[in-house]
């Protein structure tokens, strides 16, 4: 149950600002550090192997 609390807080915060969360399943990606530009997921460049 405690794993869902941060996601729930994000959703409640967005709703308080009158911003709808249209894709709550993407909250997990954002929390993991994913980046979106203009609604599209931006891939991270691969680290160069030394």
CA–chain centroid gap for 16, Å, is 17
The pLDDT of residue 42 is above 70: yes
Please state the pTM of the whole predicted model. 0.43
Which of these, 38, 36, 31, lies nearest to 8 by C-alpha position?
31
Comparison of pLDDT for 13 and 49, the residue scoring more: 13
Please, are residues 14 and 8 in contact by the beta-carbon 8 Å criterion? no
Please, are residues 28 and 7 in contact by the beta-carbon 8 Å criterion? yes
């Amino acid at each position: 149950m405690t794993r869902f609390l941060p996601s729930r807080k994000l959703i409640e915060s967005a709703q308080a600002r009158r911003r709808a969360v249209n894709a709550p399943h993407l909250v997990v990606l954002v929390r993991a550090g994913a980046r979106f530009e203009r609604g599209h997921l931006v891939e991270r460049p691969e680290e160069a192997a030394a």
